[in-house]
Amino acid sequence: MITTYLSPDEMLPAPGQGALAVQCRTDDLATRVRLTRIDSAAVRAPVTAERHFLRGLGGGCTAPLGGLAVEPPDAADRLQLRGRALTGDGRRVIDVVGEAPGNAAEALGLALAREACAQGALELIA
């Protein structure tokens, strides 16, 4: 039973949380063509930004990092990424926010990772 819903202001989800990925061999062209039918740019772009934020900080699935990319309500074809790095006990937190065109998801994630690093994120997640 769900007793409490947490907003992203209270707790950012892990980067890529809730996204489903399907992989196949790079040399399997027939499968790759079939998979294009289920690919969603509306999901792929935000997850790409979130995962590059994670990658830029050298984090994995156990790092105390959060990331959430969304299309801002007032700007189509844009992404807004919120990133968070914190200590394991949650006492120290670094929040970063950035926005970029939707086709620059990778660059957005990496730019926010650099910004978080400049604010000391690597020391928090070590």
Q: Residue 65: what pLDDT? A: 95
**What is the pLDDT, as a whole number, of residue 115?**
98
- Hey, is 107 helix, strand or coil? helix
Mean pLDDT of 106-115: 98
Domain extent at residue 100 = 29-125
Instruction: Determine, yes or no, domain membership for 34.
Output: yes
> Which has the higher per-residue pLDDT, 20 or 55?
55
Q: Is residue 97, in this structure, part of any structural domain at all?
A: yes
Q: Is the distance from CB of 46 to CB of 69 less than 8 angstroms?
A: yes
Q: Cβ distance 95 to 82 under 8 Å? A: yes
- Does 1 reside within a domain? no
Q: What is the pTM of this model?
A: 0.88
Instruction: Give backbone dihedrals phi and psi of 34, rounded to 5 degrees, phi first.
Output: -60, -40
- pLDDT, tens digit, for every residue of 56-103? 999 888 889 999 999 888 877 899 999 999 998 989 999 999 999 989
Q: Given a cut of 80, is residue 118 above it in pLDDT?
A: yes
The domain that contains 103 carries what CATH number?
Answer: 3.30.160.40
Residue 95: inside a domain: yes
Q: Considering the domain boundaries, does residue 3 fall inside one?
A: no
Decide if 69 is inside a domain.
Answer: yes
The structural domain count of the chain equals 1
Q: Where are the beta strands (DSSP E) in the chain?
A: 65-70, 78-86, 93-101
pLDDT for 24 = 94
pLDDT digits (tens, 9 = 90+) for 21-44: 889 999 999 999 999 999 988 889
- 51 burial class (0-12, 13-18, 19+ CB within 10 angstroms)? buried
DSSP result, 20-48: ------TT-HHHHHHHTTT--HHHHHHHH
What pLDDT does 49 receive?
A: 97
Give the pLDDT of residue 119.
Answer: 97
- 8 in a structural domain: no
Q: What is the DSSP letter of 97?
A: E
